[in-house]
Amino acid sequence: MMKGILKNNNGYTLIEMLIVLFIVVTISSIVFQFTIKLTEKRVVEQFFNQVMLDLQRVQALAIEEDRTITFVFIDTNTYKAYYELGGNSILEKSFPKGIELNIYSNLKKIEFYPSGEIGKFGTVLFNTPFGEKRLIVNMQKGRLRLNE
- For residue 3, the model assigns a pLDDT of 55
Strand order in the sheet with 89-94: 89-94, 78-82, 69-74, 109-112
- For residue 54, the model assigns a pLDDT of 94
First to last CA, the chain: 72
pLDDT exceeds 90 at position 9: no
List, for residues 35-64, the tens digit of each pLDDT value.
888 888 999 999 999 999 999 999 999 999
Is 135:148 a contact under the CB 8 Å cutoff?
Answer: no
- For residue 2, the model assigns a pLDDT of 52
Q: Rounded mean pLDDT of 1-12?
A: 59
List, for residues 92-124, the tens digit of each pLDDT value.
999 999 999 999 889 999 998 898 888 888 899
Percent of the chain with pLDDT over 90: 47
Mean pLDDT of the chain: 86
| pTM for this entry | 0.76
Which residues lie below 8 Å from residue 118, measured CB to CB, with a gap of 6+?
Answer: 59, 110, 111, 112, 137, 138, 139, 142, 144
**Secondary structure of residue 91 in the 3-state scheme:** strand
What does the alpha-carbon distance between residue 97 and residue 31 come to, in Å, rounded to a whole number? 22
